Amino acid sequence: MVLAVFLYTQYFFTFNNLRGTLQEGPINSPNGEYTANTYYRTYGGAAGGVNIWVQITNNTDHKTKVIYYSNANSHFSISWNGANTLAITNEDPNYPESDNSINLDVRNEIYDRYGLACQSLLMKNDYKRCFKK
């Protein structure tokens, strides 16, 4: 049974069950084709932390997808760097090794700090490049 849960988590992961609180957005891309929203969810009580993710909406077909998932650092922001590139800053100046900042092409790139999306068989058709820490 433990093996089955492990295999399911490792290879059949999706972002479909994420539920959180809107942090920032909506922020429209310069050409209006995409909209970015960021969400967060706390975990672990007083000793826990915060997970944060970026969801993109394609304003033509109204489909949404998560392109970024990580633990949150003290400085988090998003901004558009052209029509298709979202600059995500997620850093803590006191802990440079915790920097999870990246520029993503919202059409075909994703970032999952923990790497589950990168190895998921269910998500392989959702991106061309997947980044992980």
Structure token pair of residue 13? 């992961």
pLDDT in tens, 62-78: 999 999 999 999 999 99
Task: Give the whole-angstrom CA distance, residue 60 versus residue 57.
Answer: 9
Domain tally, the chain: 1
Amino acid letter, residue 96: P
Amino acid letter, residue 103: N
Structure token pair of residue 99? 């920097």
DSSP tag of 123: T
- The predicted model gives 84-103 an average pLDDT of 96
- Segments forming the whole domain that contains residue 98: 2-131
pLDDT at 20: 83
Question: pLDDT tier at 44 (50, 70, 90 boundaries)?
Answer: confident
- How far from 35 is each of 6, 27, 86, 116, CA to CA, in Å? 34, 5, 10, 24
| Tokens 């209006």, residue located | 32
E-only strand ranges, the chain: 21-28, 34-43, 49-58, 64-71, 75-80, 85-91, 102-105, 109-112, 129-131
pLDDT at 1: 62
